[in-house]
Structure formats: C-alpha cells, structure tokens
Amino acid sequence: MHIRKKVSAIIFDCDGVMFDSYQANIKYYNHILARFNLPLMVKDEIDYVHMHPADKSVHHIFQGTPYEEAAQEYRLQTDYTPFIKDMIIEPGLKELLRLLKPHFGLAVATNRSHTMGDVIKQNGIKDLFDIVVTSLDVIDPKPDPETIFKVLDFFGIGPEQAVYVGDSQVDYETSRASGVPLIAYRNKALNADWHIENLMEIYEMLIVPSA
C-alpha cells in the first residue's frame, strides 16, 4: 500500500492519534464537574469530550444545570498541566515524525485548545511540526474544514497534496468537508481512504518504494 504520489504534507489529529488522552480528558472534565458537586461523566459524555473543543465539551456536560457559565470561567482558570502526565504518547510517534520531517510538511489539526502547546512541548515534539492549528485558531472548529484549510494555506497546497491522520467520526467529517484524504488510525468503522493499526505504517505508505 503506497500512496506517495503528490503528497507533500501530513496532518495529524492529536487525541487518539498522537496521544492516548482518554484518561487525561476524563480526569480533567470530572475535575470541573466535581468543582460544582455534580456527578461524574457517563460514557456518552466521555465520548463527546474526547472529540470536541473544551468550550463545547463543558456546554455538553453542564447543559441543563445552573452552572454552565461558571464552569466555562473555571475551565479557563484551570491549569491543564497536571493532567498532561496522564496522556500517553503513541508508540513510534517520535520516530515517525523524525523520519517524515525531511520529506514532508508536518502539521497538527486539533480541537484541543490552549493545552496543545504544553502537550507537544513537554513530550519533546514541538519542533517537529511546521504548524499547529487548534480550536483557538479558527472560528469554526472540526468538523468544519477551517482547521484543515489553515494548514493547506500555510503550505500553499491543495487538498490532494495532503493526507489527514484521524481516528473519529469528527475526523472523517472533517476530511470529507476539506477534500483531504483520511488515514484512519485504529478505527475500521470509519469509511476512510486507508486504515492503519500502527503509526509506522504511514512511513511505509509514503516513503518505502512500492514493489
């Protein structure tokens, strides 16, 4: 499976692709709920906050309570740094980025917000990316294609010259809206262009010559 062709940039989602942030997100949003003595998240709420920006996530888990406005304010005041230790970097990510760096533009397109900078800095991969676009950098976050379009504009390329690595339905919708083909990571349920189970497969798809 080789897809080099005209590809000149690789765009990565963060949560679920670059990092297993499941536990970190659970602890973060449950911390905010506990501040207002509300019950911990249930499964559908956990699934939602794992894919959406922080403001929408707080709205989702606080809707119907009298605390949403105060919770949004508390979110902005809460330091995410203590939760970064619970984010597990995906096996092979650093090696993959270093292998790809000489050949491709590398980008992140994520619904994570002000926490993104600290996450990649603390994990030693900040300098491996040419551009990082978060929900704070756009008017409409994913699945709106604005995040991806910012990356394409930065590199001066069209959608056919990039690939997007994602793992969720939101990533699928973003891919289709932007026209950038999707490499689905560990989610065979997505109707993606390609599916992988290991990040190093990206190297094989884009660098290793086909037989």
Residue 73 — pLDDT band, cuts 50, 70, 90?
very high
The pLDDT of 103-116, averaged and rounded, is: 94
Q: Are residues 69 and 139 in the same domain?
A: no
- Is the whole-model pTM more than 0.75? yes
Q: Is 2 or 93 the better-scoring residue by pLDDT?
A: 93
Q: Is the same domain home to 116 and 75?
A: no
The verdict on 68 and 108 lying in the same domain is no
Reported as type and span, the H/E element at residue 169 is: helix 169-178
Q: What does the pLDDT look like over 153-197, one tens digit per residue?
A: 999 999 999 999 999 999 999 999 999 999 999 999 999 999 999
Tell me, yes or no, whether 95 and 126 share the same domain: yes
Q: Is residue 4 part of a domain?
A: no
167 and 93 fall within a common domain: yes
pLDDT, mean of residues 69-77: 96
**Is residue 13 domain-shared with residue 110, that is, in the same domain?**
yes
Q: Which uninterrupted H or E stretch holds 75?
A: helix 68-77
Whether the pLDDT of residue 49 is over 50: the answer is yes
Domain containing 116: what range? 9-20+88-206
pLDDT value of residue 211: 47
Q: Do 54 and 110 fall into the same domain?
A: no
Q: Do 163 and 187 fall into the same domain?
A: yes
For 117-161, how does the pLDDT look when each residue is reduced to its tens digit (9 = 90+)?
999 999 999 999 999 999 999 999 999 999 999 999 999 999 999
Would you list the DSSP string of 85-147?
TT-EEPTTHHHHHHHHTTTSEEEEE-S--TTHHHHHHHTT-GGG-SEEE-GGG-SS-TTSTHH
Residue with tokens 């000489």: 102
> Structural domain tally of the chain?
2
148 and 191 inside one domain: yes
Give a yes or no: residue 1 inside a domain.
no
**Structural domain contains residue 211:** no
45 and 60 co-located in one domain: yes
Phi and psi at 97, nearest 5°, equal -60, -40
Q: How far apart are CA 61 and CA 48, in angstroms?
A: 9
Instruction: Say whether pLDDT at 75 is over 50.
Output: yes
In the chain, the DSSP E strands lie at 9-12, 19-20, 88-89, 105-109, 131-133, 162-166, 182-185, 194-196
Same domain? 134 vs 38: no
